[in-house]
Amino acid sequence: MDAAEAPPPPPSPAATTTASNVAADRRRLPLPEWQRCLSAVGRFADEKVGRIARDDPRRVAHSFKVGLALTLVSVLYYVTPLFNGFGGSAMWAVLTVVIVMEFTVGATLSKGVNRALATLVASSLAIGAHKGASLVVSSENTESILLIVFIFFVASAATFSRFIPEIKARYDYGVGIFILTFSLVAVSSYRVEELMPLALQRTSTIFVGVAICLCTTVLVFPVWAGDDLHKLAVGNLDKLADFLEGMETECFGENARSGNLEGKDFHDAYMSILSSKDKEDSLCTLAKWEPINRKFGFRYPWSQYQTLGTLCRQCASTMEALASYVAILRKYQYPEANPQLYMKVQKTCSQMSMYSARTLRELSSAVRSMTTPSAMNKDLSAAMKSANGCRNELLQDSALLQLSDMVTQINEITESVNNLARLARFKNPEKARNDVVINVRSQ
Amino acid sequence: MDAAEAPPPPPSPAATTTASNVAADRRRLPLPEWQRCLSAVGRFADEKVGRIARDDPRRVAHSFKVGLALTLVSVLYYVTPLFNGFGGSAMWAVLTVVIVMEFTVGATLSKGVNRALATLVASSLAIGAHKGASLVVSSENTESILLIVFIFFVASAATFSRFIPEIKARYDYGVGIFILTFSLVAVSSYRVEELMPLALQRTSTIFVGVAICLCTTVLVFPVWAGDDLHKLAVGNLDKLADFLEGMETECFGENARSGNLEGKDFHDAYMSILSSKDKEDSLCTLAKWEPINRKFGFRYPWSQYQTLGTLCRQCASTMEALASYVAILRKYQYPEANPQLYMKVQKTCSQMSMYSARTLRELSSAVRSMTTPSAMNKDLSAAMKSANGCRNELLQDSALLQLSDMVTQINEITESVNNLARLARFKNPEKARNDVVINVRSQ
């Protein structure tokens, strides 16, 4: 080893502390308050904001896209000839852009369509209510009372409909816009003489706002919910494999002493799989709004990802139960009490984990590259064979039965991936390889 | 038994089916399409809508409250003398009511304050930008270009800030309103000659809207987030006890044959405890906005409910692992293979479950009535004694160690409830009882 590379001899702890404290004091002393504030803010910006941007650079792109869409709307307002066509309601276009622009193409499209439809339905209904009221009643006062009664009942009924789960999941935003537009148009109808042109103008500005949002979101760095859902599924499969590999070292390794699994990497992987359900469901809903995403195309079997996700979460639960069980064994000095049985547990666990982890890795890489996984997975059959072979052995320590349950679940995951590959018409790996060979030869 | 009460003798299955089919056909035949449609809609309304209303009647109250608030705003618009003070921007009050009215007092207050503050800050900033731009530049065209550049950068920065988790959790709505107001005021500033009066008018209408929302939400059937959080905590403790009692019958009972826990009542209880985290966190944030809730008052230790919730979820995980373990035992005919050990498992499980369930019930009733739980819980000490006493026995079947882990966790839950009782100054049960006695005597 080179002398320059060798670390300096460690000084005694007391000396280090005092020396570094003095140095730190000296360094800190001359800094005035505002400079320290600034450096703290700078550090915060660098750490926190930088991390958020680095974690997903699409966030930065999205922020600039919102800025761009608002700029386009403002230009529409500033360039007078264009603006004349929209009148004072150009602000509705600004409002639409701020509310409709979402992170993914699917969310923007779904919000835009919700907004446009709700506006149309609500304005028609409000204008109808106004015409109806003026037909029935002659005095203006009675008409306004009638309209207020309308507003009360329509708003109450629409608000109640938001508690119905199906409506809450898909149309909550649309119902909100419906209440807003209905009240506004019904209220204005009393004061504004020419109602129809105003309603038309507002509706058209809202359409312009939605169009600007859609163009910006599709044409400038589009973020597809479908891509995220696909990555989430691949990530879950990888995390299951990580968990199995981590469990091996953490639970049976030399340093595995504590019975507490919290805070360990593989435990975090488990928690993130378990909590992926909400994200998965919402991405799935949004992905269906994106038939224009070329990578997946029209009528892609998105619901299959939910099936796969459910199986992954079940499998993660079994793995976690197994890991916590092994951790408890160690906590109560089980290895020392029953060394023979513990060795057997360890051996079986290691084998099955290894085979299972390999199977999961193969599945994840198949989904990632969108190729059909090989028909019969060697590793999986080895794991299942091993599980069946030692069932009698397993019965000696009942907890090991969980292991064989896990292998069964991984088998179900394999079937689900095969289903996905069939329904989504994944490429055939043999054919894909041949294509590559042909391409190489023809060059 | 009276003859009238006795059920009619059951007819043979085949006869029943044919007879009822014919009767049904006859009943269905004369119904025209529209009538069947109507009856289907009626049944849907009765079942689905009725259930949603019965599950939580406050939903109906909330719907009417939204209708009431909108009616009040409309009246403001219709009653001309009042309206003159607000000008054409009365629609901002309508918009505010639709957006700000939320189910709980805390949510409405937090949204209202967010909206009011964001509007103030954004309008000041936009007016400042306008004044600054008009000072620096002389030509109108250059000024509008400068303002558009402002809008682009302010909107981009504000959108990016929404990705910071702390801001997303608390101020997401406020930032949205900030972007909206800033763009609107900056865009309008170019066209509207008298900017300040307009900005003041809009801000005041928004304040009127927020005030109407707050009055309606606090004075008419108020729904407190704090009450819901309190009930959620009590419910979680009860569900843990339910789970323990259900596990006993489902896993060891006569009919407990299948290894699958899904779909059973006690499994659902477990799932609902596990998924309570998001609701708990959001209710806790909102409850802090409700110092005017008399039941809990100012500076109530709401965060303690989060600590308690975390412990409950950990305990539920351990219980689930235990239950799935017992289910696996049955699935692989463990009782038949090792009858003696199985009997021992069953006996220990039953004892500890019973003691633990009683402890949890006592805790839940203490939290419900807001009284300090008794200092030393007899059932808990019995459970811990039993857990310690049979540790050697437990080591024979390693999985039973999970049981003793569970008892430890219930002990932690007890400590957490004691903490809550101390910090929230729960009533002393002895004193409370004495008070009742004194009250009764003095009457």
Per-residue confidence band for B3, with pLDDT thresholds at 50, 70 and 90: very low
Residue of A nearest to B94 (CA): A184
Residue A224 phi, psi dihedral angles, 5° rounding = -100, 130
Q: At residue B252, does pLDDT exceed 70?
A: no
What's the CA angle centered on B57, arms B56 and B59, to 5 degrees? Answer: 80
Asked whether the beta carbons of residue B183 and residue A70 sit closer than 8 angstroms, the reply is yes
Number of neighbouring beta carbons within 10 Å of residue A307: 15
Helix axes B105-136, B165-191, angle to 10 degrees: 50
pLDDT, residue A7, reads 41
Which of A49, A71, A164 lies closest to B148 in CB terms? A71
Please report which confidence band the pLDDT of residue B75 belongs to, taking 50, 70 and 90 as the band edges: confident
Residue B355 has pLDDT above 80, yes or no: yes
Q: Residue A328: its pLDDT value, please?
A: 67
DSSP labels for A399-441? GGHHHHHHHHHHHHHHHHHHHHHHHTTPBPHHHHHHHHHHHHH
- Among residues A228, A5, A18, the alpha carbon closest in space to that of A102 is found at A228
User: What ipTM did this prediction achieve?
Assistant: 0.76
CB contact under 8 A, A176 and B98: yes
Nearest to B153 among A67, A321, A328 (CB): A67
Cβ distance B147 to A60 less than 8 Å, yes or no, reads no
- pLDDT for B40 equals 75
Q: Which DSSP letter does residue B12 get?
A: P
- What is the radius of gyration, based on Cα positions, of chain A? 31
The owner of tokens 């499980």 is B349
Q: For residues B351 and B400, is the Cβ–Cβ distance under 8 A? A: no
* pLDDT at residue A329, rounded to an integer: 66
Minimum distance, in Å, between the CA of residue A114 and any CA atom of chain B: 16
Query: Which one is predicted more confidently, A116 or B268?
Result: A116
Could B147 and A74 be called an inter-chain contact, meaning their C-beta atoms sit closer than 8 Å? Answer: yes
Q: Do A48 and B164 touch (CB under 8 A)?
A: yes
pLDDT surpasses 50 at B16? no
Q: What is the mean pLDDT of residues B313-332?
A: 76
pLDDT at B330 over 90: no
Query: With an 8 Å Cβ cutoff, are B78 and A48 in contact?
Result: no
Bigger pLDDT: A366 or A89? A366
Question: Is the separation of the CB atoms in A322 and A406 below 8 Å?
Answer: yes
pLDDT confidence of residue A94: 84
Is B156–A74 a contact, with Cβ atoms under 8 angstroms apart?
no
Partner-chain contact B160 A63, CB within 8 Å: yes
| Maximal C-alpha separation, chain A | 102
The yes-or-no verdict on residue B119 having pLDDT over 90 is no
pLDDT of residue A273 exceeding 50, the answer is yes
Alpha carbon distance B350, B386 (integer Å): 11
Tell me the mean pLDDT in the region B321-343. Answer: 69
Q: What phi and psi values does residue A427 have, to the nearest 5 degrees?
A: -65, 150
**What pLDDT does A155 receive?**
92
Residue B256 has a pLDDT of: 52
Tell me the C-alpha to C-alpha distance, in Å, between residue A340 and each of A345, A351, A365, A404: 9, 17, 38, 20
Instruction: Please give the backbone phi and psi of residue B367, each rounded to the nearest 5 degrees, phi first.
Output: -65, -40
Q: Using CB atoms, which residue from B151, B159, B405 is nearest to A63?
A: B159
Q: Do A179 and B70 touch (CB under 8 A)?
A: yes
Look up residue A104 and give its two tokens.
Answer: 């993914």
Quick one: average pLDDT of B97-122?
90
Work out the number of other CB atoms within 10 angstroms of the CB of residue A255.
7
Instruction: Determine the Cα–Cα distance for residues B332 and B259; give it in Å rounded to an integer.
Output: 9
In terms of C-beta distances under 8 Å and separation of at least 24 residues, what long-range contacts does B338-342 make, across chains too?
B341/B396, B341/B397
Contact A173, A115 (CB under 8 A): yes
Residue B385 has pLDDT above 60, yes or no: yes
The b-or-e profile of B221-256 (16+ CB within 10 A means b, else e) is ebbbbbbbbbebbbbbbbbbbbbbbbbbebbbeeeb
Predicted pLDDT at B396: 57
Q: What is the DSSP letter of B245?
A: H
Specify the pLDDT at position A399.
Answer: 58
For chain A, domain boundaries: 56-219, 225-442
Q: Residue B94: pLDDT band by 50, 70, 90 thresholds?
A: confident
The answer to whether residue A395 scores a pLDDT higher than 60 is no
- Taking CA–CA distances from A162, the nearest residue in chain B reads B63
Per-residue model confidence (pLDDT) at position A106 = 92
Nearest to B94 among A152, A187, A402 (CB): A187
- Average pLDDT score, chain B: 77
The DSSP code for A46 is I
Tell me how far apart the alpha carbons of residues B387 and B395 are, in angstroms, rounded to a whole number: 11
Among residues A178, A179, A191, which one has the least CA distance to residue A144? Answer: A191
Closest CA to B222 of B99, B51, B101, B49: B101
pLDDT digits (tens, 9 = 90+) for A119-157: 889 988 888 888 888 888 777 778 888 888 888 999 999
* Residue B383, pLDDT above cutoff 70: yes
Cβ-defined contact of A401 to B332 (cutoff 8 Å): yes
Would you say A129 and A186 are in contact if contact means Cβ atoms under 8 Å apart? Answer: yes
A80 or A293: which leads in pLDDT: A293
Mean per-residue pLDDT of chain A: 77
Question: Bigger pLDDT: B185 or A226?
Answer: A226
Q: What is the pLDDT of residues A353-365, one digit of tens each?
A: 888 888 899 999 9
| Contact list, B186 vs chain A (CB under 8 Å) | 74
- In this model, does residue A211 exceed pLDDT 70? yes
Other C-beta atoms closer than 10 Å to the C-beta of A6 total 8
Amino acid at B420: L
Fold type of domain B225-442: Methane Monooxygenase Hydroxylase; Chain G, domain 1 (1.20.58)
Measured in degrees and rounded to the nearest 5, phi and psi for residue B371 equal: -115, 150
B198 pLDDT band (50/70/90 cuts)?
Answer: confident
Q: Which residue of A has its CA nearest to B96?
A: A180
Q: Can you read off the two tokens belonging to residue B41?
A: 């809609």
H-only helix segments in B253-338: 265-274, 277-287, 303-331, 334-337
Q: What is the pLDDT of residue B69?
A: 93
Angle at which helix B58-78 crosses helix B195-219, to 10 degrees, equals 140
Nearest to A321 among B68, B75, B321 (CB): B321
pLDDT at A172 over 90: no
Q: Does the pLDDT at position A440 exceed 70?
A: no
Cβ of A399 within 8 Å of Cβ of B325? The answer is: yes
Rounded Cα distance between B285 and B292, Å, is 15
- Which residues from B are below 8 Å from A402, CB to CB? 324-325, 328
Q: What is the CA radius of gyration of chain B?
A: 31
**Which of A322, A318, A317, A315 lies closest to A416 in space, CA to CA?**
A315
- Residue B317: list chain A partners with CB under 8 A: 320
Residue B332: pLDDT over 90: no
- Tell the residue number behind the tokens 């209220």, with chain if given: A187
B331 interaction partners in chain A (CB closer than 8 Å)? 401
Do the chains contact at B95 and A70, CB–CB below 8 Å? no
Q: Which is more confidently placed, A6 or A362?
A: A362
Q: How far is A393 from chain B (nearest CA, A)?
A: 13
CB A399 within 8 A of CB B325: yes
Contact B151 A176 (CB under 8 A): no
State the smallest CA–CA distance between residue B406 and chain A in angstroms.
Answer: 12
Query: Exposure of A247 by Cβ count < 10 A (0-12 exposed, 13-18 middle, 19+ buried)?
Result: buried
**Statement: residue A383 has pLDDT above 70:** yes
CA pair distance B173, B169, nearest whole angstrom: 9
Q: How far is CA A28 from CA A31, A42, A337, B319, B326, in A?
A: 6, 16, 57, 53, 62
A63, A151, A176: residue with CB nearest B74 = A151
Q: Under a CB-based contact definition with an 8 Å cutoff, are residues A149 and A133 in contact?
A: no
Work out the percent of chain A whose per-residue pLDDT is above 70. Answer: 74
Q: Tell me the three state secondary structure of residue A291.
A: coil
Contacts of B144 in chain A (CB under 8 A): 78
Answer for the pair A270, A316: CB distance below 8 angstroms, yes or no. Answer: yes
What is the tens place of the pLDDT at every residue in A318-353?
887 777 777 766 666 556 666 776 777 777 778 788
A118, pLDDT greater than 80: yes
Confidence category of residue B106, pLDDT binned at 50, 70, 90? very high
* A49 vs B contacts (CB less than 8 Å): 160, 164
A314 touches A281 (CB < 8 A): no
Euclidean distance between CA atoms B72 and B94, whole angstroms: 10
Q: Which chain A residue has its CA at the smallest distance from B140's CA?
A: A78
The pLDDT score that the predictor gives to residue A19 is 44
What is the pLDDT, as a whole number, of residue B431?
Answer: 60
Cβ pair B329:A64 closer than 8 A: no
Test the A interface: residue of B44, B160, B345, B400 with most A CBs within 10 Å: B160
pLDDT in tens, A428-438: 876 655 554 44
Helix (H, G, I), strand (E, B) or coil at A347: helix
**Are B367 and B413 contacting, i.e. CB atoms less than 8 angstroms apart?**
no
> Which residues are paired to A427 by β-bridges?
A371
The shortest C-alpha distance from A399 to chain B (Å) reads: 6
- How much is the pLDDT for A11? 40
Q: If you search the block for the tokens 């892609």, which residue do you land on? A: A300
| Closest residue, chain A, to B144 (C-alpha) | A78
State the DSSP code for A224.
-
DSSP letters, A83-122, are HHTTGGGHHHHHHHHHHH--SSHHHHHHHHHHHHHHHHHH
Mean pLDDT of B257-271: 63
Q: How far is CA A312 from CA A122, A307, A430, in A?
A: 43, 9, 27
- Say which of B64, B187, B317 has its CB closest to residue A77: B187
B430 pLDDT higher than 70: no
The lowest-confidence range among A227-236, A249-258, B72-81, B138-147 is: A249-258
At B297, is the secondary structure helix, strand, or coil? coil
Contacts of B95 in chain A (CB under 8 A): 180, 184
Residue B427: beta bridge partners? B371
Q: Do A180 and B94 touch (CB under 8 A)?
A: yes
Token pair, residue A413, equals 């995951």
One-letter identity of residue A207: F
| Helix, strand, coil distribution of chain A in percent, nearest 5 | 80, 0, 20
pLDDT score of A225:
93
